[in-house]
A and B are shown apart, each in its own frame.
Chain A
Amino acid sequence: MTAPPAIATSGLTKDYGSGRGLFGLDLEVSGGEVFGFLGPNGAGKSTTMRLLVDLIKPTSGSARVLGLDTVTDSLEIRRRIGFLPGDLAMYAKLTGRAMLDYLGELRGGVDARTRDALVERFDADINRPIHELSTGNRQKLGLVQAFMHEPELMILDEPIAGLDPLVQQSFHALLGEVSAQGRTVFLSSHTLSEVERVTQRLAILREGRLVVVDSLENLRKVAVQRLEIEFAEPVDPGEFRALHGVTEVHADGATLTVGFEGSADAVVKAAAAHEVLAVRPREEDLEDIFLHYYRSESVA
């Protein structure tokens, strides 16, 4: 029998009024995937995750996690997943150790060795009161609690927030390991660069609606391309702005950087009318993919 998707939503809606919330989300995340869930602040990422964990109820539609209904089977789902909320908060007076002990007791079945290995891996400070910890150190505790019971699915809301680059590296390595074990990670971010190294597929959400779901490879294809053209003498940027497919033109002395979608034919032909000293393709900026969908007026 085929295993059910790790996450499957159907018309999932949470309407807060005034256009805020999540609207008609149809999404499927397969088992073993590291799936990125992107969008600007207020796009509905946290709302989606809170619906999946049953902290809030859908206005309409439904969601299944590990084949179970998020409303009727919530307890079993929460037993089998790890969750890191956005804006993580814990009891300020407790030490990290006491907090992890508490969450471990609530959950049951946490192997102390697994927990300790995660603490060591993230170099988490578990001996000081939580109110004395920096945002990054609190986030480490959040990650430990989300992974310490070796869940089948991890739902992580902005997991990299506040982490220094070394810990980020450690976190990315951990995601690779859990994915190799067939476990699933569903993580959100508001910047693509945070997740591009670890996600296989990603979804972009904007104003509560799903804009696109695809692999990074496919998304790169629709990215804006850029050519940096060095002329012998300054040229009129307006000449290039008027070309079909051109999205942006920046002039810096006799050098123009031209961004365009689709074929480069028109840009190259326009440049050829002048004396060209050099043509250099600019490194594709993945963030542009993201911004392209953020700004797009057409909603999928």
Chain B
Amino acid sequence: MSFPVTKITLRLRAAAAVSAAAGLIAVMAAVGALFPSVGHTIGTLNVPKSVSNLLGGADYGTITGWFRSEIASIYGPLVIGAIAITGAAATTAAEEEDRILGLVLAQPIRRPRLVAAKATAIAAIVLIVALGTWIGLIVGVALGGGGITLAHMTALAVQLAFFGFATGALAIALGAGTGRRSLASGGAAAVAILGWLINSFAPLVAGLDWLKYLSPFYYYAGHDPLAHGVNIAGIVVLGVLSLVLTAGGIVGIERRDLRA
């Protein structure tokens, strides 16, 4: 790994991550503050199971269900996925398309070290957003009157971080492997959205339930971290997936010509 590459990547991307983290904290504080007045009124939505699954159970009557539906199901993974994917695509494929990588790789640095250093920086950026999620949860749950343990809030932030690692690593694999920014960001985003849909709908179709195991969402939230805490198996799967995808990116960029 190359420390200067990690440092410069963090320097260029950290502002977006800190903004996203601050935004998450503000949104979660607002979401928490709304719960006492709105949550009990809404209760559990009477919607089809498919919609309920998309909304993380649609149980707005409890503080756990409220944060699961408002934050854990959509907003949290959306923000962390977006930051991870755009950051990863920007530091690999976009730098190549912008012709910066040609100058950097004319220095005495091996391509695998470069990609590993960038992946490390993206992981650090994901951790910043996950930390924002954790702080936001603590603040939001406190404003909502409490009811979720610190361990379970930490569990969601940890699971979310690993989800961010995996989506970022996918963008790195696509970006480093192809040198195409649109493919890196679009491909990773498509997989993330598809994973969300599969995780929500596959269990409803007899015979297709097994498809959920192909979704990173299942390993992130399938065991409901806000209610049940950390799921080690999910973390291991997402962690290994992140490493494998990053390794794929390294192999990809090592074998090909730089595009620009």
Contact A57 B12 (CB under 8 A): no
Once A90-B103, A91-B12, A106-B5 are accepted as A-B contacts, the answer to whether A75 and B258 lie under 8 Å apart by CB is no
Say yes or no for B110: interface residue by CB 8 A criterion. Answer: yes
Contacts of A55 on B, CB cut-off 8 Å?
Answer: 102, 105-106, 257-258
Q: Across the interface, name the chain B residue whose C-beta is closest to A85.
A: B102
Contact A75 B4 (CB under 8 A): no
Q: Across the interface, name the chain A residue whose C-beta is closest to B105.
A: A55
Complex: A90 Cα to B100 Cα, angstroms? 5
Once A56-B257, A106-B5 are accepted as A-B contacts, the answer to whether A89 and B99 lie under 8 Å apart by CB is yes
Contacts of A85 on B, CB cut-off 8 Å?
Answer: 99, 102-103, 106
Q: Across the interface, name the chain B residue whose C-beta is closest to A79.
A: B108
Complex: A76 Cα to B108 Cα, angstroms? 7
A103 touches which of B2, B12, B107, B258 (Cβ 8 Å): B107
User: Count of A residues near B, CB < 8 Å?
Assistant: 27
Complex: A56 Cα to B254 Cα, angstroms? 10
Q: Which of A81, A91, A94: most chain B CB closer than 10 A?
A: A91
Contacts of B4 on A, CB cut-off 8 Å?
Answer: 102, 105-106
Interface of chain B, main secondary structure: loop
Contacts of B100 on A, CB cut-off 8 Å?
Answer: 89-91
Contact A102 B8 (CB under 8 A): yes
Complex: A107 Cα to B107 Cα, angstroms? 6
Contacts of B103 on A, CB cut-off 8 Å?
Answer: 83, 85, 88-90, 103, 142, 145
Say yes or no for A78: interface residue by CB 8 A criterion. Answer: yes
Closest beta carbon of chain A to B40's beta carbon, Å? 48
Contacts of A88 on B, CB cut-off 8 Å?
Answer: 99, 103
Closest beta carbon of chain B to A107's beta carbon, Å? 5
Contact B110 A106 (CB under 8 A): no
Complex: A264 Cα to B168 Cα, angstroms? 72
Say yes or no for B232: interface residue by CB 8 A criterion. Answer: no
Closest beta carbon of chain B to A45's beta carbon, Å? 15
Contacts of B110 on A, CB cut-off 8 Å?
Answer: 75
Q: Across the interface, name the chain A residue whose C-beta is closest to B103.
A: A85
A93 touches which of B12, B98, B104 (Cβ 8 Å): B12
Contacts of B98 on A, CB cut-off 8 Å?
Answer: 89
Closest beta carbon of chain B to A140's beta carbon, Å? 14
Closest beta carbon of chain A to B134's beta carbon, Å? 29
Complex: A87 Cα to B2 Cα, angstroms? 25
Closest beta carbon of chain A to B85's beta carbon, Å? 20
- 1/0 contact string of B229-260 vs chain A (CB within 8 Å): 00000000000000000000000000001101
Contacts of B260 on A, CB cut-off 8 Å?
Answer: 87
Complex: A13 Cα to B98 Cα, angstroms? 25
Q: Across the interface, name the chain A residue whose C-beta is closest to B109.
A: A106
Complex: A35 Cα to B102 Cα, angstroms? 22
Complex: A89 Cα to B106 Cα, angstroms? 13
Once A50-B258, A56-B257, A56-B258 are accepted as A-B contacts, the answer to whether A106 and B108 lie under 8 Å apart by CB is yes
Contacts of A160 on B, CB cut-off 8 Å?
Answer: none
Contact A91 B8 (CB under 8 A): yes
Contact A57 B104 (CB under 8 A): no
Contacts of B12 on A, CB cut-off 8 Å?
Answer: 91, 93-94
Closest beta carbon of chain A to B5's beta carbon, Å? 7
B257 touches which of A57, A79, A91, A94 (Cβ 8 Å): A57
- 1/0 contact string of A42-75 vs chain B (CB within 8 Å): 0000000010010111000000000000000001
- Give A180-207 interface residues, CB cut-off 8 Å to B: none
Complex: A78 Cα to B104 Cα, angstroms? 11
Q: Which of A76, A94, A106: most chain B CB closer than 10 A?
A: A106
A-B contact pairs, 28 of them (CB 8 A): A55-B257, A57-B257, A75-B109, A76-B108, A78-B109, A81-B106, A83-B103, A83-B106, A85-B99, A87-B260, A88-B99, A89-B98, A89-B99, A89-B100, A89-B102, A90-B103, A91-B8, A91-B100, A93-B12, A94-B12, A102-B4, A102-B8, A103-B104, A106-B5, A106-B108, A106-B109, A142-B103, A145-B103
Among all A-B residue pairs, the 7 with the closest Cβ atoms: A56-B257, A83-B106, A89-B99, A105-B4, A79-B108, A106-B107, A78-B108
List 16 additional A-B contacts (Cβ < 8 Å) besides A75-B108, A87-B99, A89-B98: A53-B105, A53-B106, A55-B102, A56-B258, A75-B110, A78-B109, A81-B106, A89-B99, A91-B8, A93-B12, A94-B8, A106-B4, A106-B5, A106-B104, A106-B108, A107-B108
